[in-house]
Each structure stands twice: as structure tokens, then as C-alpha cells.
Chains A and B, each alone.
Chain A
Amino acid sequence: MAQAKQITAPLTDEVARSLKCGDMVSISGTIYTGRDAAHKNMVEALERGEELPVEWDGQVIYYAGPTPARPGKVIGSCGPTTSGRMDAYSPTMMDQGLKGMIGKGPRSKEVVDAMVDHGVVYFAAIGGAAALIADSVKECEVIAYDDLGPEAVRRLRVEEYPCIVVIDSEGNNLYEQGVAQYRID
């Protein structure tokens, strides 16, 4: 397996577009968690003409709702959740400048089309490897929607968080290519 590409979040347009489907990456820097309820809140806030709690330009969102941190720990277990549930909101988030998404599972055609339009990259983390992933998180702070509990928006500082580029900014899709390669008819 090829050496992981070291990348820093937030992402520049150039870096986002340089990543290709099947690239192993190691992400360091700042990312934000957000899932179902937080997306709903943000999209409704935009409809009301309100500001969002995060300036999304260039940012990477992580679809995750961690378990509570034990005393002395930064965060609990924090693997990816199913990204498809955020499909309805993701094009709007990309309009806000979002450059990367981390989650698990396939995305809708509308999302992939928006990714191509905006030069956005989608990373997969390993679903269910949540205890392992927690080691990559060095700082964690709730910055919005604290009342949502696990669904609050958290700012994470991560070091060498391993992911796979599953859909790149040209729409190449590992979920389609990988399955086709191993299907036995």
C-alpha cells in the first residue's frame, strides 16, 4: 500500500483538487464535527439569513457524534457515521465553501455533482474503528449547539488522522470502482 499523503486542514482548493480516488491520506489540523441535527440547524439558519457558527470556507466537516470523554481524556470513541443522511444538506454546505467531508458510505448523485462543481473531496474513515480513531484527536471543543449532545458541532485538532479518498473532485468513486473490481457475476 502506498505511503499516506500528509495533508493539512483546512484545505486549499489546490490540495483538494490534487487528491485522487484511492489516495491514502493522513489529515492534521482543524476539522469540525457535524451530523444530522447540526446540518438541519445550519441550513435553517441560512434560510433565515443568519450567520453560521463556523466560517466554512476551506473547512473539512467530520460526520461524527462521539461518546463522552472519560476524565482525563480529550474525547471518547469517535468514528464516522453514515454520510448519506447528510446528502440533503451537503450541496448547501459546499455553497458555503466546504472543501472536504469525512464519513462512511456512498453519496447521492446530487452530492457528487456538487463536489465536481466546487472541487470538493470526500474521505472515508473506517466505520466502527472508533476507539482507534480517538487517538488522532488532540483537542476537542464544543463550539455550537451544545444542547444537541453528541450532535453538537465540535472543533477538533487532529494529528495524522488516517482516511481514504473515496470520491475525488472529479467524481471518481471508489465505492463504484472497488465493488465492480471484486464482483463475481
Chain B
Amino acid sequence: MKEINVEDISREVKRLCIEAACDLPVDVEKLVVQAAQTEESEFGTYAMEKVCRNIKIARENTVPMCQDTGMVIAFVEVGQEVHIAGGLLDDAINAGVAAGYVDGYLRKSTVVDPVLNRKNAGDNTPAIIYTSLVEGDELRIAIMPKGAGSENMSALKMLKPAEGLEGVKRFIVDTVVNAGGNPCPPTIVGVGIGGNADKAMQLSKVALRREAGAPHPDPAYAAIERELLKEINKSGVGPQGFGGRNTALAVQIETYPTHIATMPVAVTLNCHAARHKEVVL
């Protein structure tokens, strides 16, 4: 049994929140630079140049690349041999988020009630926390601050099994193309297929945790990802929706078994500032 103190968890979460906001992971940056180099449209090229410069300025000066420093999603994998000491895991994560957003000069974007009282919480809590138990004596925390501009373009469809692969592909392409310039394209397209409604949505987030542009381990799904990316980039939406060749940087699919009567498909878009950081304790 390994003991991990809540204070260590909070401290690491705080650090990850600040790093995530200011330092775009190299896997995403590589795809952004590639898009800048291949873009053909005048305004698309202009936008991508600005985005590339912005990534460097944010990293060099430790300032947020985007003012929407997001609502924090935390994926936590707790080894079964770990004992968390000194308090509750969720409290520790939220304390880390609050410290990171206040001390790191990040924008506080959560409101305390979605409908009746949209008062700013003042510390960007609570995070959305997905915890799973895994083998071993380690605690893995992945932080994904997610902006609402891209999140607002999320979609779920409960397809009939008869709609088949064609139905799945059509829904994904339509969702990305109809989002137009709203989610700050070029985007990374997270897709969850299977399970039930909420499982599919969650899988679409899990898909965004994968190294940006890395193919699905199953060659059949990897081929579908490539085909969808090509199809999306034919749409002409382009960077920022100004028109161009780069509407998405990657399509990433995750699947789960499902019920005989259904075929849920969920899409979550991540903007070009596809932030994610993780730590193992």
C-alpha cells in the first residue's frame, strides 16, 4: 500500500492547470504548424500564422494562449494499492484547480448555477472529475482545460443500428462542418461510439486524451479516422471558418460495446488550443 497525501495532489493539479493554459503540448503544436504550412487560403494562412506565433509567445512568457482557460476536466486513475491520505480526492483536486486559477492569473469561468444563478464562482471550481480504479500503486492525473467555444459545438445522436457506418460518418462530418468557424478550427475531433448516451459523450472526451494525430490501434478504425479527416477537410470551412483546407487537425475515435437496439455517436470538438497535461504520483 502506497500513501499519497492530498496536499501533493493539490500542488500537482495547480501546476498542471497553469502549465496547460500556457504551454501547448508538442503533439498538438506539430499538427498546428503542419496546417499552417499546407493552408492555401489567404485568410486561413493569415490566421494560422497568428496562431503559431501566439503559441510561442504564450510558452515563452507563461501567459495563457487563450483567454478561455476553460472548465477543468480531470481524468484520475487511482491504483488499487494507493491510499489517499489527509482528505478527499475530489476536494484535493478542486483545491489545486482553485490555487492554479487564482495564483496563475487564469480566467475564472465557472458559474455557481447553470440557470438560476449564473454568478461567477471566483476560483474556477468545481472541476469535472472522472475517476477510475486501475492496477498498481500509482495515481495518474490528466488535466484537460476545455474552452466553451468548442464545447458548445458538442453533439450526440442515438443512431439506429440500420444506419450503419455510413450513418456514423455522416453525423460526425455534419457536426464538424455545421460548427463552422465557432469552435476555432482547425479542431481536433473527439468521437465516442457505443455504450449508452452518457458513455458515448465521455468516450468522445477520452478520445481527446490520445496523443494528437495518433491513429486508433485497430487498423479498421484508424482507416475510418483518416477517411473522416479527409472528408471534413473537403468542406472548405478552413481556419477560423474563413475558408480553406484545414478544418480539422485529427479525428480520434473511441468505442465501447453497446446494446442490440442502439448505436450512440458523440462528438466533442477541441479547438486548436487543445490543452492537456498529466502527472503520475
Q: Are B63 and A175 in contact (CB under 8 A)?
A: no
Output the nearest chain B residue to A78 by Cβ-Cβ distance.
Answer: B67
Would you call B180 an interface residue if the criterion is a C-beta within 8 Å of the partner chain's C-beta atoms? yes
Interface residues of A in 171-185 (CB under 8 A from B): 174-175, 177-185
Q: Are B47 and A178 in contact (CB under 8 A)?
A: no
Interface residues of B in 115-146 (CB under 8 A from A): 118-120, 122
Contacts of B241 in A (CB 8 A): 105-106, 175, 178-179
Interface residues of A in 140-185 (CB under 8 A from B): 147-151, 164, 166, 174-175, 177-185
Would you call A67 an interface residue if the criterion is a C-beta within 8 Å of the partner chain's C-beta atoms? yes
Would you call B34 an interface residue if the criterion is a C-beta within 8 Å of the partner chain's C-beta atoms? no
Q: Are B180 and A175 in contact (CB under 8 A)?
A: yes
Q: Are B234 and A126 in contact (CB under 8 A)?
A: no
Interface residues of A in 113-135 (CB under 8 A from B): 124, 126-132, 134
Q: How far is the CA of A153 from the CA of B239 in the complex (A)?
A: 29
Identify the stretch in B71-79, B91-99, B105-113, B164-172 within 8 Å (CB) of chain A at 4 or more residues. B105-113
Q: How far is the CA of A24 from the CA of B228 in the complex (A)?
A: 33
Contacts of A69 in B (CB 8 A): 105
Contacts of A8 in B (CB 8 A): none
Interface residues of A in 71-127 (CB under 8 A from B): 76-79, 81-82, 84-85, 104-106, 124, 126-127
Q: How far is the CA of A106 from the CA of B107 in the complex (A)?
A: 25
Q: Are B273 and A179 in contact (CB under 8 A)?
A: no
Q: How far is the CA of A179 from the CA of B108 in the complex (A)?
A: 34
Contacts of A127 in B (CB 8 A): 66, 149, 181, 184, 240, 271
Q: Are B243 and A177 in contact (CB under 8 A)?
A: yes
Would you call B57 an interface residue if the criterion is a C-beta within 8 Å of the partner chain's C-beta atoms? yes
Contacts of B14 in A (CB 8 A): none
Q: Are A175 and B242 in contact (CB under 8 A)?
A: yes
Q: Are B43 and A179 in contact (CB under 8 A)?
A: no
Output the nearest chain B residue to A82 by Cβ-Cβ distance.
Answer: B149
Q: Are B242 and A164 in contact (CB under 8 A)?
A: yes
Contacts of B46 in A (CB 8 A): 1, 24, 164
Contacts of A126 in B (CB 8 A): 47, 50-51, 54, 240
| A37-B118, A65-B67, A148-B120 known; A131-B54 Cβ under 8 A | yes
Q: How far is the CA of A134 from the CA of B105 in the complex (A)?
A: 14
- Nearest-Cβ distance from residue B45 to partner chain A, whole angstroms: 8
Would you call A25 an interface residue if the criterion is a C-beta within 8 Å of the partner chain's C-beta atoms? no
| Binary contact readout B25-51 vs A (1 if CB under 8 angstroms, 0 otherwise) | 000000000000000111110110011
Contacts of B180 in A (CB 8 A): 105-106, 175, 179
Interface residues of B in 220-267 (CB under 8 A from A): 234-238, 240-245
| Binary contact readout B47-87 vs A (1 if CB under 8 angstroms, 0 otherwise) | 10011011001100101111111000000000000000000
| A66-B67, A82-B182, A128-B65 known; A174-B243 Cβ under 8 A | yes
Output the nearest chain B residue to A126 by Cβ-Cβ distance.
Answer: B50
Which residues of chain B have a CB within 8 Å of any CB of chain A? Answer: 40-44, 46-47, 50-51, 53-54, 57-58, 61, 63-69, 105-109, 118-120, 122, 149, 152, 180-182, 184, 234-238, 240-245, 271-273
In the assembled complex, 20 residue pairs joining A and B whose CB atoms fall closer than 8 Å, in A order, are A1-B46, A24-B46, A67-B63, A77-B67, A79-B66, A104-B240, A127-B271, A128-B65, A128-B271, A129-B50, A129-B53, A130-B66, A131-B54, A131-B65, A148-B120, A164-B242, A178-B44, A178-B241, A179-B180, A179-B235
The 4 closest A-B pairs by CB, nearest first: A178-B243, A183-B236, A182-B236, A127-B184
